[in-house]
Structure 1
Amino acid sequence: MRFAHPIQKFQDWFTQQWVILRGRKIKPEDTLWLMGPFGNLNAMNEDFIHQFAEKENLIVEKGSKVKGIIPSMLKLNLSENEFSNLSKNVIDFYENTSNHNLNFSIKWNPYFKFFGILINKLFSNRINQLNIPTKEIDGSESLKSEIINLTDPDTNEIKYTFWYRSIESTGQVIYSGVYGISNLPSGKTCVKAVFPLPNGNATVLMIPSVGKNGELILNSSGKKFGDAGFYFLLKDSKGEYWSQFIRSFRDCLIIGSENDIIFAEQTLTLWHFKVLTFIYKIELKK
């Protein structure tokens, strides 16, 4: 039986041990579609990004010419008809994310709010990751949104794109994720978001489609390992890799545009029950 790294917070060790017991051993070379940056034992703040870049011999670039979490939406491999119907404002947001201001509100299902508070106290507040406010935001709160690219100094190729988001008024980091495109074993193309955690990460893979009004729909409703969905990954005390597919947890993001204002609704569900909903209002910076 394998064990998680013993020298870390107990709650981190316990959850990693659960992944080992319930998940499967993987080989990185056989699961490149799933792999992404792993965190260390410290907070996943901007210092972590610089430490990760140094470890991988990459250059940190803020304010570079490439400003989007997805360099080209053509890489989503949508059908010709879907891509022609996709909102041009949505395309511009993904390709030029840092040119936009983001405001958001949150609505929790009261039956799940306690679990959100517990997760924040045990994990998120400490590691500055997946740090979703549990105080319901009915109005609009501004997000500070930064695109940080890690580039190979020899080829100038962007290896990782971090989307670093924090609440403007408090500085509280909500997400520090690596975004890109991945191809599932089935051949389907998906949007990939990797959130580094101690000795591992949480990865969300979402299949894209286009709605009748030109909105982009990203859905993580897979049924088995290898499908779109939510995954935990980790490296154990012996250097072996493990992953657990969480079928019960799903994420659906719908992002569209009306009168040059982009609106997005992101719904997280657990066992088909709505946990919380993010509402975003996105506008070009003036």
Structure 2
Amino acid sequence: MRFAYPMQKFQDWVTQQWVILRGKKINPEDFLWLIGPFGNLDAIGKDYIHQFAEKQNLIIQKDSESKGIIPSMQKLNLSETEFENLSESVIQFYENTDGHHLQFSVQWNPFFKFFGILLNKLFSNRINQLNIPTKNIDDSETLKSEIINLADPVTNEVKYTFWFRSIQSTGQVIYSGVYGISTLPSGKTCVKAVFPLPNGNATVLMIPSVGENGELILDSSGEKFGDAGFYFLLKDSKGEYWSKFIKSFRDRLIIGSENDIISAEQTLMLWNLKVLTFKYKIQQKINQQNSS
């Protein structure tokens, strides 16, 4: 039997050992659609992004033309009809995320709030990752949102796009994720979000579609390994890769616009029960509106 890397926090070792016992061993070269950056054994914050850039011989672009989590929405490979119906404001948000203000609210299912508190105490507060507020936020709280591109120093090609989000009033880091596009084994195109964790990551793959009112719908409701969904990845003590598909966990995001105001609702489900709901209000920054 294989074992997780021993020299780390006990709770990290236990969760990684569970992935090894319940997951599957993979060859990363055969699963490029799933592979993404792994975190260090300590905190996952801005320091990690700088360390990762140095390790990969990449530079942090400060004046990149690409300031969105998805450089071109054309890469989602939506049908011609879907793309024509997709809200122009939503396209602008994804292609120029840095040019928008974000506010959000949080509503927990009270039956799951204890798990959120436990997650924060054992993991999130320490590693500055997946650090979701455990109190309901009814009034919109402002998010500080930053796009950080890591690029090849010779070609200037963007290799990784980090979306770093924190609560503006407290500085609490909520997410630090690497965003992009991936193609599943089925050939379906999906939005890929990778959240580095100690010696591994959590990866969410979401299938895009367009609703009747031009809203973008991203859904991670897969049924088996290789589908859209939520995955844990890690390296064991021998450097071998392991992954576990979590069928019971699902993420659904609906983002649309009305009167130039973008709104989004993100629902996290576990065992077909609603865990929590994020609601976002998104507006273009004034200087961006004037220049467009």
TM-score by length of 1: 0.99
Structure 2 counterpart of 1:147, one-letter code:
I
**What CA distance in whole angstroms lies between the structure 2 residues aligned with 1:61 and 1:25?**
35
Q: Give the distance between the partners of 1:201 and 1:71, measured in 2 at CA.
A: 23
Query: Helix, strand or coil for the counterpart of 1:187?
Result: coil
- Residue in structure 2 matched with residue 80 of structure 1 by the alignment: 80
Q: Residue 132 of structure 2 aligns to which amino acid in structure 1?
A: I
Q: CA deviation at 1:62?
A: 3.3
Moved over 6 A (4+): none
Match of 1:46 in 2: 46
Q: Where do 1:34-113 residues align within 5 Å?
A: 34-113=34-113
Instruction: Return the alpha-carbon distance in structure 2 between the equivalents of residues 109 and 184 of structure 1.
Output: 32
Give the Å deviation of 1:63: 4.5
CA contact (8 A) 1:63 1:148 kept: no
Moved more, 62-71 or 146-155: 62-71
Match of 2:198 in 1: 198
Could you tell me how far apart the structure 1 residues matched to 2:61 and 2:45 are?
Answer: 16
What secondary structure is seen at the aligned counterpart in 2 of 1:3?
Answer: coil
Q: Deviations over 1:37-68 (max 9, x none)?
A: 00001211101000000000000123422110
Alignment match, 1:28: 28
Pairs within 5 Å for 1:164-183: 164-183=164-183
Q: 1:130-209 to 2 correspondence within 5 Å?
A: 130-209=130-209
Matched to 1:208, the amino acid is P
Letter in 2 for 1:189: T
Aligned to 1:255: 255
Structure 2 match to 1:273: 273
Tell me, in whole angstroms, the C-alpha distance in 1 between the residues paired with 2:157 and 2:28.
Answer: 21
Gaps of 5+ in 2: 287-292
TM-score for the superposition, normalised by structure 2: 0.97
| AA in 2 matched with 1:281 | K
More deviation in 29-38 or 153-162?
Answer: 153-162
Q: Report percent identity of matched pairs.
A: 81
| Contact persistence 1:63–1:147 (CA under 8 A) | no
Cα deviation per residue 1:151-200 (whole Å; 9 max; x = unaligned)? 01121110000000000000000000000000000000000000000000
Aligned AA for 1:84?
E
Query: SS state of the match for residue 112, structure 2?
Result: helix
Which SS does the other structure have where 1:106 is aligned? strand
Indicate if the aligned counterparts of 1:151 and 1:159 stay in contact, CA closer than 8 A: yes
Partner AA of 1:35 in structure 2: I
**Native 8 Å contact 1:269 1:276 kept in 2:** yes
Opposite residue 54 of structure 2, the aligned amino acid is E
1:110 partner SS: coil
User: SS of 2:111's equivalent?
Assistant: helix
Aligned CA RMSD, in angstroms, stands at: 0.5
Alignment correspondent of 2:8? 8
Counterpart AA for 1:56 = Q
SS at match of 2:98: helix
Structure 1: stretches of 5+ with no match in the other structure? none
